[in-house]
Amino acid sequence: MNSELAGRRVGGTGRHNEPMKVLLAEDEEDIQRLATLGLRKRKDWQVVLAGDGEECLVLARSEHPDVILLDVMMPNLDGFATCEQLKADAATRDIPVIFLTASAQEREEQRGLAKGAIGYLRKPFDPLQLPQQVLDLLVQTGHNPTSSE
């Protein structure tokens, strides 16, 4: 665990029918916190944190998130390899994956999308805009978000 928050569920009061559960795989603690603060602006969103790709694979299976936000450059297993393994596993292949990364080049985006991700968001990102960007991508790709407020 790279963070005191890693693997812990943060927030999520479940005020609506089903809270949206976001698994965020990110090795930088500052960015984990900023993204979590932004995502939790939606009161019924839960954020589960993974500090690297391997942890992300474990938590994807145990936590059944609604969406996975995936950094690319992470220790142990990078985001591209993590996405590949998520898509190869019947238990996780249907979970939409969105890259959230400082790897900003177009060929990297193409590579990420080729691994089966539904979106590619570049850092820096505005934490307050992040939940809406996630929802927009889910809607655009025909994934029905479990909550929208």
Q: Is 37 in the site for another protein (CB under 8 A)?
A: yes
Question: Can you read off the two tokens belonging to residue 114?
Answer: 């080729």
Q: For another protein, what does the binding mask look like between residues 52 and 91, x meaning CB under 8 A?
A: ---------------------x------------------
Question: How many residues make contact with another protein (CB under 8 A)?
Answer: 23
The least CB distance from residue 88 to another protein, in Å, is 26
Residue 149 to residue 78: CA distance in whole angstroms: 32
Q: Is 38 in the site for another protein (CB under 8 A)?
A: yes
Strand order in the sheet with 119-122: 9-10, 45-50, 20-25, 67-70, 97-101, 119-122
DSSP codes, 117-139: -SEEEESS--TTTHHHHHHHHHH
Compare residues 62 and 110 and give the one whose CB is closer to another protein: 110
Q: Which residues make up the interface to another protein (CB under 8 A)?
A: 28, 30-31, 34-35, 37-38, 41, 73, 102-107, 122-129
